[in-house]
Structure 1
Amino acid sequence: MMAAQKGKDLLLKVDSDGLGTFTTVAGLRSRTIAFNAESVDVTHAESAGQWRELLAGAGVKSARVTGAGIFKDASSDEIVRSYVFNGTIRNWQVIVPDFGSIEGPFHIGSFELTGRHDGEVGFEMALESAGQLTFTAAT
C-alpha cells in the first residue's frame, strides 16, 4: 500500500508547445484523476444462473482529471486559455509521487473562472482523455 503523500506533490503538466516541452500548470490547489472502463454485457438466455456476463477488455476506457486553483503566472494562464478557446488536444502528464505518472492526450472539457469581491480569481477545469494513456511506475 502506498504511504500517505502530500496532495500538493501531485503535479499536472501540459505539453506547452506540441513538441514535448512540459510545463507545470501553476497554482493548482486541488486535483483528482479518475479512471473509467465501460462494460460490455454479453449475457444471454443460457447464462449460468441468469447472472450477467461481461466481455473482458471490450469496454471503452477513459480518464478524467480535474483541478482547481489560481493562475500565478501569465505563461500557464495563456497556455490553458488558448487550449480552451481553440479546442486543442495536447499531451498532459499527471505525476503522483511514489506511484508513477500518467501521460497522454487530453482535451479541456470544461473551464470555469470564479471570483469573489474580496479575493483572487480562481479557476476549475476538467480534462477528458482523448486517446491512449500510458502509465509509468515510480522508481
Structure 2
Amino acid sequence: MTAQAGRDLLLKLDQTSSGSFETVAGLRTRRVALNAATVDITNADSAGRWRELLAQAGSRSASLAGSGLFRDQASDAAVRQIFFDGTICPWQVIIPDFGTLEGAFQVTALEYAGRHDGEVTYEIALESAGPITFTAL
C-alpha cells in the first residue's frame, strides 16, 4: 500500500438520517480509534496462570477526532446544533484505499480557536453510539 494524503480522509454527516451524507469540514488532522474491551476469565486452573479472555464478550467502540476548517457556515451551524442538542446522528468516515466506517456517533467535544491574523479553526471529537459497519473499498 502506498502512502496517502491525510486530506483524503473525509468526515461526512447525515443530519436528517435519510442516508444522504455530506462532507461537513476540511480536516487538517484526524484520528480514528477502534477499541475493544476485554473480559478476563483467568482463574486458578488457567495454564501457567496466563491470562485468559472470553471471546466476543467485551464492548466495542469507535472514536473520531479531528481539527481543521468547517466547509461553510451551514456545516458549522449543523455540527454546533447537533452538539448543543446532544443528538446522535449517522456519520461516515472515508479512509482512502481502505474503506468506509459508518454508524451513529455523538459529538462529545467541539472547540474553536483562532489567531488575530488567521482563520477560525475547530477541533471535534465523536464517540460511537451503536454498531459500526465497515465496507472495504
User: TM-score, normalising length from structure 2?
Assistant: 0.96
CA distance in 1 between counterparts of 2:71 and 2:127 reads 24
Question: Which structure 1 segments of 5+ residues have no match?
Answer: none
Number of the residue aligned with 1:41: 40
Deviation at 1:25, TM superposition (A): 1.5
User: Aligned AA for 2:117?
Assistant: D
Deviation at 1:72, TM superposition (A): 3.6
Number of the residue aligned with 1:68: 67
Number of the residue aligned with 1:102: 101
CA distance in 1 between counterparts of 2:26 and 2:10 reads 10
CA distance in 1 between counterparts of 2:25 and 2:111 reads 16
Number of the residue aligned with 2:123: 124
Number of the residue aligned with 1:32: 31
CA distance in 1 between counterparts of 2:54 and 2:90 reads 30
Matched ranges for 1:85-96 at <5 A: 85-96=84-95
CA distance in 1 between counterparts of 2:71 and 2:99 reads 26
Deviation at 1:79, TM superposition (A): 1.1
- Structural RMSD (CA): 1.0
CA distance in 1 between counterparts of 2:68 and 2:10 reads 12
In the alignment of these two chains, the number of paired residues is 137
Number of the residue aligned with 1:135: 134
User: TM-score, normalising length from structure 1?
Assistant: 0.94
Question: Which structure 2 segments of 5+ residues have no match?
Answer: none
Number of the residue aligned with 1:51: 50
Number of the residue aligned with 1:12: 11
Closer, same or farther: CA 11–72 of 1 in aligned 2, 3 Å: closer
CA distance in 2 between counterparts of 1:46 and 1:26 reads 53
CA distance in 2 between counterparts of 1:31 and 1:25 reads 14
CA distance in 1 between counterparts of 2:131 and 2:71 reads 31
Deviation at 1:31, TM superposition (A): 1.2
1:93 is paired with a residue whose SS is: strand
Deviation at 1:71, TM superposition (A): 1.9
Deviation at 1:18, TM superposition (A): 2.1
Closer, same or farther: CA 136–72 of 1 in aligned 2, 3 Å: closer
CA distance in 2 between counterparts of 1:62 and 1:53 reads 22
